[in-house]
Chain A
Amino acid sequence: MTLTSAPRRAAATLPVPPSRAPATILAVVVGVIILIATAGLDIEWTELGDVPSRVVNYLQLMFADPNWDKLPRALFETWRSISMAWLGAIGCVVASIPLGMLAARGVGPTWLRYLLRGVFAIIRAVPEVIIALILLTVTGLTPFTGALALGIAGIGTQGKWVYETIESAQEGASEAVRAAGGNTLETTRWALWPAAAPALMSFALYRFELNIRMSAVLGLVGAGGIGSMLANYANFRAWDTVGMLLIVVVVITMCFDLISGSIRRRIMEGARPRGMDRSH
């Protein structure tokens, strides 16, 4: 192409550029899929132009003068959401540690391992909100059932983290205990647990962080807490209260992320240096 204007000397020996056809075909295919998807959306694209101005307008309604009168109620509901998240996390962790351990290679029997891993995989594949929604239809819409739903919906992922952690902790330490004549229970207590505990603690906290977001979502479908309050005021288009509630959600979520994140970091960092201190 541009090679005609390139120097004679260089052009004479210039190798042929590699074919770009595969990349071009891939780009065209991806582009067509995106175009079809975009065209298939039931959206008036001409309206999209004034979406930003409408959003800005609503943002002004929400945040120019948030309604702080409802703050005490919002904090009450926030605590309800946090409680759901916390109890759900405890339930999830308490259930997933034994189940995950049984699903780890070399701990439980093979048939049980495959059964548990299959159950974990199915729970993971279905969006957590849907699992929770089904559980809530069956057990009724209360904060307690919300916590229960959070606990069960999280088991798929949490169980997977547990057995992966246990399996990675298994090499080394557990062989030593086995070599010293320990049985499965003793191996678990004296080799697997000490090696895996920091990571498991960290995952437990992470579950709590995830549940904080999820509990707000469950509230939206009626389980109570800050999500329910937000859904109500959004339906009434009470923008100043919605704005206040969004601020509360963002601040609370960021605070808990920050606290939980720093504790997790300390757990994981503390796990290593202390062990190294003892070794010399």
Chain B
Amino acid sequence: MTEQSPPAQSSESSAPWSISLADVSVTYPNGTRALRNVSVDIGAGEIVSVVGLSGSGKSTLIRTINGLVTATSGTVTVGGHDVTSLRGRRLRELRGHIGMIFQGFNLADRVNVLNNVLVGRFAHTPTYRTLLGLTTAADKDLALQALDSVGMLEKVWTRASSLSGGQKQRVAIARALAQEPSIMLADEPVASLDPPTAHAVMGDLARINADRGLTVLINIHMMDLARQYANRMIGLRDGEVVYDGPAGTATDADFAQIYGRPVQTDDHSGSQR
């Protein structure tokens, strides 16, 4: 690979990045093989759902993209940068361009919403400034705009612990947006939410894809949501890709094949088919 420019310099416009996994395997120290020879190419600006049962390797797959899990073999290329070769500061800079939200929201409960969102500016802030509590006006501006875009601006001074589940996930999305990311990763973002809230959050993610053109990758196990909000679907079973195709036309038989069992009622989110 040719000499790459450091990720930080390509940050001004958050142009979407492509993702490419080439023959990626992950084996955990306890011997579990979470991913087996996965090769996937995702173009810039795509919205893709990753479907599979728990334990199928979805979470591992999404975490190899921002280096929270290091691939045991194979290469992960994100926006032209080889994630597997990056360490320390360079890796942190790269992560600054990849927003991520989680099933458990992963907010600091006793911290107010604004500071939770400012976590998204970490990679773009020198450590000493964070330690001294010196927030630049520009960073604060970005955080407030991100909150505004998910409709949470009036909660800016509230502690995260007093928000509802849906509000917490919105704050988490704002935290990711404050990074001005090129990719948005979502690991089971609606599994802890009730169906109407789940649809709202999925709608937010789809809107981010449509309005900002970001590449969006969503881990999800509910078939109806996967079909409705994504253009493309990747099915994982026992760490291997068993389906890769359009999401809207995926049949129940396709899901049965991914899940390795007949489709059940709780594979749906339960409202508004």
- Which residues of A come within 8 Å of B, CB atoms? 2, 5-7, 9-11, 13-15, 17-18
Contacts and interface: CB of A to CB of B under 8 A. Distances in A.
A7 B156 contact: no
Given A7-B144, A9-B145, 4 more contacts: A2-B137, A6-B144, A10-B141, A14-B156
- Majority DSSP secondary structure for residues of B touching A: helix
A17 B157 contact: yes
Contacts of A11: 144
Contacts of A18: 157
B137 A13 contact: no
11 contacts: A5-B137, A5-B141, A7-B144, A7-B145, A9-B145, A10-B145, A13-B154, A15-B153, A15-B156, A15-B157, A17-B157
A18 B135 CA distance: 19
A241 B148 CA distance: 69
Contacts, number: 33
Contacts of A17: 157
Contact of B154 (A2, A6, A15): A15
Q: Give the interface residue-count category, chain B.
A: 10 to 19
Contacts of B147: 10
Contacts of B157: 15, 17-18
A199 B119 CA distance: 45
A10 B153 contact: yes
B148 A6 contact: no
A18 B157 CA distance: 7
B18 to A, nearest CB: 31
A19 to B, nearest CB: 10
A13 B147 CA distance: 12
A9 B148 contact: yes
B153 A13 contact: yes
Contacts of B137: 2, 5-6
B140 interface: yes
Contacts of B144: 6-7, 10-11, 14
Contacts of A15: 153-154, 156-157
7 closest Cβ pairs, A-B complex: A10-B144, A5-B137, A7-B141, A17-B157, A15-B154, A18-B157, A6-B141
A15 B148 CA distance: 12
Nearest to A7: B141
Contacts of A5: 137, 141
B153 A14 contact: yes
